[in-house]
Structure 1
Amino acid sequence: MKNIAVDKNVMSLKSYYDENPVAILDNPHIGVCLFFANGKIIYANEKFASIYQVSAQNIYEKRIHDICHYTAHHFNTFLTQLEREQHVATQEMYAHGSYYLYKIQEKYKNHQQILVVTLVDITSYKRIELVLEKNNQQLQQIRLLDRMTGLNNFTAFEHKIQEIQQHQLPQSIGMILVDIDGFKQFNQETGFDCGDIAIKKISTCLDRFSDSVEQLLFHLGRDEFIFILLNMQDWNLYTFAEQLKVEIHNLNIYFSSGVDNRLTVSLAIEKYQSGAHFDIDFFLVRLQNLMQQAKKQGGNCWIDRHIDLQYKKIDD
């Protein structure tokens, strides 16, 4: 008798659906559940029941809150959405290893509110979406990497600067611009293939001094790199620059014109102090001006505008 009563209730409610209502309620691929506002279930098809690993017979006249915890958890939110969004609310739901398009609608019979939940399995579409999202993330990562060296490129540098500017600025931001001395001449003497090899060796050396948090390295262009160093004291910046200079010198990448003529780097140091205005364009202009001074000193040195001894040089 209980089954007959259920069927009568269902048939009387089918008239509330547009366009072939029987196909909606009886579709084996769509989970359907009807319940009163107090949560009492008046109908659930086998598809809906199977999603929650029970039978349709067992959930008749139980409360939706006991079966579908997702509905219970979001019930008040759904009621608000139903009032605001023309009696329909739609979300994505995950249950027992599958994704579903969860739709809840508000219907009335004899002035009594009846809520209708439909669940459509979208797992295959969701998996495609997740794969595409992962691929897009990988493409984004590739777009931010320099093809030759594998280091973060200029675009990644711009993104990092935007990220820094959009959040609370660190106590200090140090930047060290690194430029390879005489690289144009090196290419002319040894050829571009040797130039590529030299760039890769220098990149690998510089990368040993970087991390993913506070010592960030970017390859800006052919012979130019930059470090962003967060929360580093002045003397640490100077020590850091000196280490970079010595390590590149010790790579012993020689010109073909002489055994004593090797590739070295010049380094320009600039620092932002907490409380000051952070203008990246002005920051980079100052670094370039300092780099010009370092080149005038003959290269193989580092320079900072805040100290009297503006550069240090090591003997070849």
Structure 2
Amino acid sequence: MENERSHLHQILSNVDFIQSLRSVEKLDLVSFISKLPVPVAILEFDSRLLVVNQQFADIFQSDALFLNGKLLSAFSSSLYADFELALEKFATGEKQVDFEFYSKGHFYLSYFKAMYSADQQINAVILVCADVTRLKRREKVLLLNNQKLHDHLFIDHITGLPNKMAFDQYLQEKLVENLADKYTFLKIDLDHFKKFNQLHSYTQGDHVLMEIGNILDDELNPDHARIFRLNSSSFVIVIKDMTSWAVFTLAERLKMRIFQENITIQDQQNDVLTACIGIYHLALPYRAHDILQQLDLAVRHAKQQGANSIYVLNG
């Protein structure tokens, strides 16, 4: 794309010798722009086409002779809107502007350059276009590949939630921001989940993890909380600017939602899946790995109290 821009800028620089289009014979203009290797049009100040080459007309599946004298707005509303914006920018002192537009299944770069008379009044605008459809498609493929790579690295393939690597990156970003906001961390660890996998298979365990992830995600306000899957049986929730009581209430609600799903571990013992939750109110200063250590400690204290428990650890 940058090569296309550079090429068109070079073409525009080569037409600087036209100082007064009105003093040039129209046949000379037609001869001149017909030799240029890209679509070119020269427009009056009111957007009327003074002269175009056939390559420009081909963009709109038309004929150059037919387009001559037509208003730009008569056959391309998007290009006319760009022309109007270009005039506004010219009025602020810019000499040359570029946009993108779409026509007949193709993407184009459009470059507008003001042409000035001897008294420095705009008397015409030259428009040069470049077909960048292949470049746009290649760019789309690269974006898709980058997204796939990002998803592979930062998205948990079972739950679809951000993973441990995404959590680490999130912490590093907050370190850069110096934590101007108040943060609290919740670690939700499923009770006896290893036993569940042994009794029901890891495939069934994956289904449960996906279900639990959806439950937790649905309960959270994305403006104040973000959820990550940490490892096989754990999720971490980062909460911003919430009171201690509100955080504890949220933890209770999440714990209850998991219990109410009634996911059976052992039928004979009426044993259902529960979770312990460790809450850590962050204190400053801190190091990223300290957070995980404190969350592990909070969860251990919760499990010492028994399954389906909550423990709060203040920084």
Q: Which residue of 1 aligns with 2:304?
A: 296
Deviations 1:239-260 (A, max 9, x none): 1112222222333333338414
What secondary structure sits across from 1:298 in the alignment?
coil
1:129, distance to aligned residue in structure 2 (A): 5.5
Letter in 2 for 1:174: T
Match of 1:195 in 2: 205
Going from structure 1 to structure 2, the CA distance change for 1:165 and 1:77 (only over 3 Å counts) comes to: farther
CA shift in 2, pair 1:49/1:201, >3 Å: closer
Distance change >3 Å, CA 297–CA 72, structure 1 → 2 = same
Alignment of 1:127-146 (within 5 A): 128=137, 131-132=140-141, 135=144, 139=148, 142-143=151-152, 144-146=154-156
| TM, length-normalised to structure 2 | 0.66
**Other-structure match for 2:41:** 32
User: Of the candidates 54, 57, 69, which is equivalent to residue 84 of structure 2?
Assistant: 69
Amino acid of the residue matched to residue 297 of structure 1?
Q
Residue of structure 1 equivalent to 2:35: 23
Q: Amino acid of the residue matched to residue 269 of structure 2?
A: V
Aligned partner letter, 2:216? L
Q: Which letter does structure 1 place at the counterpart of 2:100?
A: M
Of 156, 159, 165, the residue aligned with 1:149 is 159
Cα deviation, residue 303, structure 1: 0.8
Q: Which moved more, 1:175-184 or 1:66-75?
A: 66-75
Paired AA for residue 269 in structure 1: I
Aligned residue for 1:255, secondary structure, equals strand
- List per-residue Cα deviations over 1:22-56 (Å, max 9, x = no partner): 531xx6x61232899xx999754466589899942
Q: How many equivalent pairs are there?
A: 275
Change in CA separation of 1:184 and 1:49 when aligned onto 2, cut-off 3 Å: closer
Distance 1:68 1:45, change over 3 A: farther
- Report deviation, 1:174: 1.4
Counterpart selection for 1:279 from 275, 279, 287: 287
Q: Which has more radius of gyration?
A: 1
The alpha carbon displacement at 1:178 in A equals 0.7
Partner of 2:76: none
Extract unaligned runs of 5+ from structure 1.
15-20, 60-64, 80-88, 308-316
Q: How far apart in 2 are the matches of 1:262 and 1:91?
A: 63
TM-score (norm 1): 0.66
Corresponding residue for 1:244?
254
